[in-house]
């Protein structure tokens, strides 16, 4: 057995130290190999789908990750109690934690992943860059020193030259990462990155890198086994990002030629062999416009975006992990690996793209996935999306013979997917996929920033959405006459309504005509509808000679509508009392914009603040969100404490004008 390698042996029952769609993905492959599966869950996931799909499920703690999914002793004890003899970490949480891998080994459990030695060497960004540099791999200039004092970090940032990237040394997924453009903003960004890294990975250590402008983010999927074999499975392009988190991934990359693929693949395989690496891993690079590439980090785990590689190779990467972990040799050589077609994956997230991608949580009242396309998820109608974990709730993968075919299938799949009750980035993803810049294969990491206004532009038929919402509020209103096909003998009379849509309060009138049609009058004019079909979930109608349809969900005064894949929400304000306060802080009260945990109170009573000044930071779904003063004045009260969990709308800071 190699020095530092895991102890290979047979196993029959796998505990999955993760949650949601990750756990379900591992369950699927494990069962195909005839393995039993055990799930773990926090209090927030008590009724989650992965808990019910496993053979057995074990509670490991409270909702916060540090008290559950990051709790190493609790997870190892769960494995022992359930009779599991192997542990799969999934991706995220403890997947790149060498202490966890070592703890599993010491407990006599097979860790389905690389050895603790390999995780320690490459899972740590600083150590990984040193190893790559010694191997002659080009790396991004930066600082990976052990001295983490604020003044040292600032001095090193100045030496590197702004803009610089601050990166958490542990973990990934964009958490603990900040782009800093000048020295003045560096201290606040450093504090925020450390806080976020500590909350997500239990380690506040960071590194610094020079920010390479407008690169491609390219990663190479690698596999190694205990017999000395190593292969790469081609590259993925993960350039479309927001908040430094991947949003759209594809394989192969439109920017990588066969020659460049071979060169990057050789570098990646050489690294795997040098490490005597076993299992799945990913080497991440930045590719500049000249074709030069720079090593950033190695993820010693499976990636969220692995389905696009599976689509073009025909391989099950989780199955390969399981086979390598029990000591089998990789079943294929490099020359056996052929890439077929093109695949694109989007990350469906519970977030509000129009409001700086603010995380959303709550009850997913209706969830339906289309047939004919791969959707990785752990949702069902009525499921709760908790505020404690990552905002990604599903992955949708399109595969075709060409990139254009894959893109088209993915757009159609997103149009047919239904997610009502919690705001998601569904419309934003379709906007990205339809953008000419993406269609031509040109996106870099600057894509969303450069085209943000276009991607978030209001729909040209937004006025029609208002009219359709008015119609649906009328026909679902128990006080209005029930819809019946055909003519009506009743006299036509208008029913006034006041609604809120896209943050605007609007007034309209709906009239049922004697011929059975409906007239919706708004400030923009009138729209005439003929309803052809209507039930509790869907309406089919004619408008201006065009037959169309929409899905909807009425939940009290809240109406959720989805037409042509674009969801929007409406609130019926007809009988609502006037709002007493402004939600944006204009009344001096700063309110929590989401469910989250207070990680930093940045002011104290008596402090004078100006409008727009940061006053408090919340952490939700592994990301930090700064809340700012809405007016100039003096802080009158702080209504929360650091570490406190708050709900959306709670007053957290009060400011008196003056």
In angstroms, the CA 567 to CA 546 distance is 20
- Helix or strand or coil: residue 575? coil
For residue 191, the tally of other CB atoms under 10 A from its CB is 17
Q: Is residue 644 situated within a structural domain? A: yes
Among the ranges given (118-127, 211-220, 389-398), the one the predictor scored with the smallest mean pLDDT: 118-127
Residues 6+ apart with CB under 8 A from 168: 125, 175, 176, 177, 193, 196, 197, 200, 201, 203, 204, 205, 206
Q: Is the dihedral of CA 376, 380, 386, 391 positive or negative?
A: positive
Contact between residue 39 and residue 31 where contact means Cβ atoms under 8 Å apart: no
Could you say which DSSP state residue 336 is in?
Answer: G
In this structure, the answer to whether residues 302 and 392 fall within a common structural domain is yes
Based on its alpha-carbon atoms, the radius of gyration of the chain, rounded to whole angstroms, reads 26
Other CB atoms within a 10 A radius of the CB of residue 548 amount to: 16
Whether 237 and 347 map to the same domain: the answer is yes
Let me know whether 311 and 357 are in one domain: yes
Residue 8: per-residue pLDDT: 56
The reply to whether 554 and 598 lie within a common domain is: no
The answer on pLDDT for 618 being more than 60 is yes
Which residues lie across from 240 on neighbouring strands?
248
In a 3-state reduction of DSSP, which class is residue 123? helix
Number of H helices, E strands in the chain: 17, 39
What SS3 state is found at 351?
A: strand
State the Cα–Cα distance between residues 218 and 249, nearest whole angstrom: 10
**Under 8 Å between Cβ of 285 and 219:** yes
* Confidence at residue 6, expressed as pLDDT on a 0 to 100 scale: 45
* Domain end point (choices 455, 482, 507): 455
Mean pLDDT of the region 37-52: 97
Asked if residue 497 and residue 597 are part of one domain, the reply reads no
Q: Are residues 206 and 231 in the same domain?
A: no
The distance of Cα 46 from the centroid of its chain, to the nearest Å, equals: 21
Q: If you ran DSSP here, which 8-state letter would residue 110 be given? A: E
Active-site annotation holds for 301: yes
Q: Please, which pLDDT band fits residue 584 given cuts at 50, 70 and 90?
A: low
| 12-16: average pLDDT | 98
In a domain, 132, yes or no: no
Q: Tell me the CA distances in angstroms from 4 to 101, 223, 227, one per residue in order.
A: 12, 17, 14
Of 15-29, 124-138, 159-173, give the range with the top mean pLDDT: 15-29
Q: Other CB atoms closer than 10 Å to residue 402's CB: what's the count?
A: 10
Is 73 part of a structural domain of the chain?
Answer: yes
Number of other residues whose CB lies within 10 A of the CB of residue 94: 27
Whether 591 has a pLDDT exceeding 60, the answer reads: yes
* Confidence (pLDDT) at 2: 45
Whether residue 385 is found in the same domain as residue 483: no
Q: Measured in whole angstroms, how far is the alpha carbon of residue 558 from the centre of its chain?
A: 26
pLDDT value at residue 579: 57
Burial class (CB in 10 A: 0-12, 13-18, 19+), 595: buried
Is residue 136 in some structural domain? Answer: no
Determine phi and psi for 65, rounding to 5 degrees: -55, -40
- My answer on whether 609 and 566 are in the same domain is no
Q: Does residue 535 lie within any of the structural domains?
A: yes
Q: Residue 134: pLDDT band by 50, 70, 90 thresholds? A: confident
Contacts 24+ apart (CB under 8 A), 432-435: 432/240, 432/247, 432/248, 432/346, 433/248, 433/344, 433/346, 433/407
Task: Tell me the longest C-alpha to C-alpha distance in the chain.
Answer: 87
- Confidence (pLDDT) at 5: 47
Going by their DSSP bridges, the two strands 86-88 and 110-111 should be labelled as parallel
Name the band, by pLDDT with cuts 50, 70 and 90, for residue 465: very high
Residue 122 scores a pLDDT above 90: no
Per-residue 3-state assignment (H helix, E strand, C coil) for 284-301: EEEECCCCCEEEEEEECC
Q: What is the reported pLDDT for 472?
A: 95
Is pLDDT at 99 greater than 80 in this prediction? yes
**Judgement on whether residues 371 and 293 belong to the same structural domain of the protein:** yes
Q: Is the pLDDT of residue 578 over 70?
A: no
Given the residues 301, 374, 512, 554, the one annotated as active site: 301
Q: What is the 3-state secondary structure (H, E, C) of 476-518?
A: CCCCCCCCCCCCCCCCCCEEEEEEEECCEEEEEEEEECCCCCE
Task: State the number of CA atoms in the 13 A half-sphere of 122 facing the CB.
Answer: 28
Measuring CA to CA, how many Å separate 427 from each of 81, 347, 540, 600, 630? 44, 12, 21, 33, 29
Task: Give the domain extent around 439.
Answer: 217-455
Is the residue at 307 inside a domain? yes
In the predicted model, what is the mean pLDDT of residues 529-548?
94
Whether 98 contacts 116, CB under 8 Å: yes
Query: For residues 6 and 399, which has the higher predicted lDDT (pLDDT)?
Result: 399
How far is 249 from 345, CA to CA, in rounded Å?
5
> Is there a single domain that holds both residue 450 and residue 476?
no
Percent pLDDT > 70 in the chain is 95
Residue 640 lies in a domain: yes
User: For position 582, what pLDDT does the model report?
Assistant: 45
Alpha helix segments (H runs only) across 493-638: none
Residue 373: per-residue pLDDT: 97
- Tell whether the model's pLDDT for residue 346 goes beyond 80: yes
More confident residue, 483 or 261: 261
* 379 and 248 assigned to the same domain: yes
Q: What is the pLDDT of residue 504?
A: 86
Paired strand residues for 354: none
Total residue length of the chain: 658
Poorest-pLDDT segment among 110-114, 277-281, 477-481: 477-481
Q: Which of 78-87, 420-429, 593-602 has the lowest mean pLDDT?
A: 593-602
pLDDT at 491 (0 to 100): 58
Q: DSSP string of 156-197?
A: HHHHH-SSEEEEESS--TTTTEEEE-SSTTHHHHHHHHHHHH
User: What contacts 461, CB < 8 A, 6 or more positions away?
Assistant: none
Top pLDDT among 553 and 198 is at 553
Question: Are 439 and 477 part of one and the same domain?
Answer: no
- Torsion on CA atoms 77, 82, 85, 88, rounded to nearest 10: -80
Q: What is the pTM of this model?
A: 0.86
Domain boundary among 210, 241, 261: 210
Average pLDDT for residues 361-387, to the nearest whole number?
96
**pLDDT at position 586 over 90:** no
What's the whole-number average pLDDT of the chain?
A: 91
Helix (H, G, I), strand (E, B) or coil at 568: strand
Q: Domain with 27 in it: what CATH number?
A: 3.40.50.20
Number of domains in the chain: 5
Measured distance CA(523)–CA(131) in Å, rounded:
65
Q: Does pLDDT of 180 surpass 80? A: yes
The bridge status of strand 279-287 relative to strand 518-522 is unpaired
Average pLDDT over residues 260-285: 92
- Among 74, 97, 112, the domain boundary falls at 112
CATH code: domain of residue 646: 2.40.50.100
Q: Of 488 and 419, which is predicted with more confidence? A: 419
**5, part of any domain:** no
Name the band, by pLDDT with cuts 50, 70 and 90, for residue 169.
confident
């Amino acid at each position: 057995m190699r020095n530092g390698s895991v102890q290979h042996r047979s196993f029959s029952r796998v505990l999955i130290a993760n949650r949601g769609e990750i756990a379900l993905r591992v369950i699927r492959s494990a069962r195909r190999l005839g393995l039993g599966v055990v799930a773990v869950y926090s209090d927030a996931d008590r009724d989650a789908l992965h808990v019910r799909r496993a053979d057995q499920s074990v509670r490991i703690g409270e909702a916060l990750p540090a008290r559950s999914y990051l709790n190493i002793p609790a997870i190892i004890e769960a494995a022992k109690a359930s009779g599991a003899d192997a542990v799969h970490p999934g991706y995220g949480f403890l997947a790149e934690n060498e202490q966890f891998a070592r703890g599993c080994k010491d407990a006599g459990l097979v860790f389905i992943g690389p050895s603790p030695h390999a995780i320690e060497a490459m899972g740590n960004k600083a150590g990984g860059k040193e190893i790559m540099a010694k191997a002659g791999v080009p790396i991004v200039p930066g600082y990976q020193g052990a001295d983490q004092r604020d003044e040292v970090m600032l001095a090193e940032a100045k030496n590197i030259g702004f803009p610089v990237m601050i990166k958490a040394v542990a973990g990934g997924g964009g958490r603990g990462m900040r782009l800093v453009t000048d020295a003045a903003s560096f201290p606040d960004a450093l504090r925020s990155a450390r806080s976020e890294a500590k909350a997500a990975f239990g380690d506040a250590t960071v590194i610094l890198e020079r920010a390479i402008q407008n690169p491609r983010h390219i990663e190479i999927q690698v596999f190694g086994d205990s017999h000395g074999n190593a292969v790469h499975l081609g590259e993925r392009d993960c350039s479309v990002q927001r908040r430094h988190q991947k949003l759209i991934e594809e394989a192969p990359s439109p920017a990588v030629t066969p020659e460049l693929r071979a060169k990057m693949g050789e570098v990646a395989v050489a690294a795997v062999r040098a490490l005597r690496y076993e299992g799945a891993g990913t080497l991440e690079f930045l590719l500049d416009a000249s074709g030069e590439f720079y090593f950033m980090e190695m993820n010693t785990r499976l990636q969220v975006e692995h389905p696009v590689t599976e689509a073009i190779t025909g391989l099950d990467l989780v199955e390969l992990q399981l086979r390598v972990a029990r000591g089998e040799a990789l079943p294929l050589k490099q020359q056996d690996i052929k890439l077929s077609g093109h695949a694109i994956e989007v990350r469906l997230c519970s977030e509000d793209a129009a409001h700086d991608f603010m995380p959303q949580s709550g009850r997913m009242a209706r969830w339906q996935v289309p047939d004919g396309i791969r959707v990785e998820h752990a949702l069902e109608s009525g499921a709760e999306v908790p505020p404690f974990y990552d905002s990604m709730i599903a992955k949708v993968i399109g595969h075709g013979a060409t990139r254009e075919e894959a893109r088209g299938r993915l757009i159609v799949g997103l149009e047919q997917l239904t997610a009502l009750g919690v705001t998601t980035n569904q419309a934003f993803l379709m906007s990205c996929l339809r953008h000419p810049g993406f269609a031509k294969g040109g996106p870099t990491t600057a894509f969303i920033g450069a085209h943000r206004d276009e991607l978030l532009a209001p729909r040209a038929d937004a006025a029609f959405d208002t009219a359709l919402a008015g119609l649906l509020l009328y026909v679902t209103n128990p006080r209005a006459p029930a819809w019946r096909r055909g003519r009506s003998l009743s006299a036509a009379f208008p029913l006034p309504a006041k609604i809120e849509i896209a943050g605007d309060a609007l007034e309209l009138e709906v009239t049922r005509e004697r011929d059975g049609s409906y007239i919706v009058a708004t400030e923009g004019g009138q729209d005439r509808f003929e309803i052809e079909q209507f039930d509790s979930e869907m309406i089919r109608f004619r408008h201006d000679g065009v037959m169309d349809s929409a899905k909807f969900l009425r939940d009290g005064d809240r109406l959720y509508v989805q037409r042509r894949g674009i969801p929007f929400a409406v609130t019926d304000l007809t009988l609502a009392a006037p709002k007493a306060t402004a939600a944006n802080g204009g009344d001096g009260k700063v309110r929590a914009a989401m469910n989250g945990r207070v990680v930093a109170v940045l002011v104290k009573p008596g402090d004078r603040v100006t409008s727009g000044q940061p006053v408090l930071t919340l952490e939700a779904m592994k990301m930090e969100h700064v809340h700012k003063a809405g007016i100039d004045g003096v802080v009158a009260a702080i209504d929360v404490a650091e570490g406190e969990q708050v709900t959306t709308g709670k007053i957290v800071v009060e400011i008196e004008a003056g």
